[in-house]
Structure 1
């Protein structure tokens, strides 16, 4: 990869990882539309590390508090809202983790197609719009219940299918369960931490098993840095925007993207 390709792919990863528009779909589509060579597993691992670092840094205060209260809940110091949220993040990751272990190869072999992305981009965009319209928006993430954890966790498992969007489908489920927009986004971002770590670990293991030759480490480091910075800014601006607007612009974007893909490939 040259510098231009590195910057574009890293920006795509950093920006789309946390917006409800599917990073997996965009990272599949960019090479399809540009005829660029596959960026390679090393680059994927590096950009995942960048995105993971960004979300941990952004929520560092909340994560320290959650970790402390979670540890306290283990030794009988009480089940505080922060402890409950920490448990909710951990338990909410289980469905997607199990689905990844069971179905990763099937999905990678049979579902990484433009046709699937077109369908999921449009269908889950409409579902996000419906959830935003019908959701009661009465609760924040500290009021999460165990039924919420199960529903949102199962929704996250669907994000293994390209085009669904991990952040999009978890926010959709949270909105349907009565969370306000910012709470849906914050819980989705917190829920991303273990799942991105698991995905990065899986890719790292694949890299250990089959190391890539002639890795351009300068481009890899630039990619990780750009993905991290863009992801951090994306989280910050997205949460600010949700205080003043609905998810409608992202619903419209998904529908327009689906229409564009139909025009290009059908």
Structure 2
């Protein structure tokens, strides 16, 4: 990989990991547009580390309080709002983990067809817009119930279908159960931590098992660039989301889906 490709792909990954616009759609489209070869497993590991570092750094206070109260509650049996939120993140992650193991037989690769990605990009973009318009937007993430968590958790499992967007579908589900835009985004970002960590560890295992040459400058560059970009995205998204809403992201998804259809039909 040259530094133009390293820089561009790392920034795109940092942008699309947390915005509700489907990272898989971009990662299919961009190499096609520029005639690039696949970036490889090592680079995938690097950008996962970068985006994980960004979300952990931004939510470091929340993660510390959730971890502290969750650990304490195991001993005292006295739950707090932070320990409950930690449990909700754990429970909402389980459906994606279970379904991930079920379809880890090549089905996910079979679904990486550009036209399938185009359809899910457009369809789930419309659902995101609808949930933003129809959602009550009156609750925060600490008010979630177990029923709400099941809805959000099973919605996150749908993100195993390329083009869905993990952040997009979890924000959609959170809006549907009445969370505010900011609360929906915050919970989606917290929920990304175990998912990104798990995906990164699986990719790292595959990397260690492979005999591929590791381009260490690309790895380090990918970590730094994707991390800085993702941190800025999280901060700006949470700052502006209440005023701009989900419509711009839905329209962007419609355009991206149309471009994919035009290129691959």
Alpha-carbon offset, residue 33 of structure 1: 2.2
How far apart are the structure 2 equivalents of 1:242 and 1:258? 23
Residue 65 in structure 1 maps to residue 65 in structure 2: yes
How far apart are the structure 2 equivalents of 1:261 and 1:194? 30
**Does the 8 A contact of 2:108 with 2:160 survive in 1?**
no
Q: CA RMSD in A?
A: 1.0
**Does the 8 A contact of 1:50 with 1:224 survive in 2?**
yes
**Does the 8 A contact of 2:14 with 2:225 survive in 1?**
yes
Name the residue aligned to 2:207: 207
Query: TM-score with structure 2 length normalisation?
Result: 0.97
Alpha-carbon offset, residue 77 of structure 1: 5.2
> CA-to-partner distance for each residue in 1:50-98, whole Å, 9 max, x for gaps?
0000000000001111111111211125211111000000111111011
Residue 249 in structure 1 maps to residue 253 in structure 2: no
Alpha-carbon offset, residue 25 of structure 1: 2.1
Name the residue aligned to 1:238: 237
Alpha-carbon offset, residue 259 of structure 1: 1.5
Query: TM-score with structure 1 length normalisation?
Result: 0.97
**Does the 8 A contact of 1:159 with 1:166 survive in 2?**
yes
Name the residue aligned to 2:81: 81
**Does the 8 A contact of 2:141 with 2:187 survive in 1?**
yes
How far apart are the structure 2 equivalents of 1:184 and 1:61? 18
Name the residue aligned to 2:216: 217
How far apart are the structure 2 equivalents of 1:167 and 1:117? 16
How far apart are the structure 2 equivalents of 1:55 and 1:105? 30
- The 3-state SS of whatever aligns with 1:212 is coil
How far apart are the structure 1 equivalents of 2:53 and 2:153? 22
- The 3-state SS of whatever aligns with 1:168 is helix
Alpha-carbon offset, residue 264 of structure 1: 2.1
Alignment of 1:148-227 (within 5 A): 148-213=148-213, 215-227=214-226
Please list every run of 5 or more consecutive structure 2 residues that lacks an aligned counterpart in the other structure.
none
> CA-to-partner distance for each residue in 1:148-170, whole Å, 9 max, x for gaps?
11110101111011100000000
**Does the 8 A contact of 1:107 with 1:161 survive in 2?**
no
Please list every run of 5 or more consecutive structure 1 residues that lacks an aligned counterpart in the other structure.
none
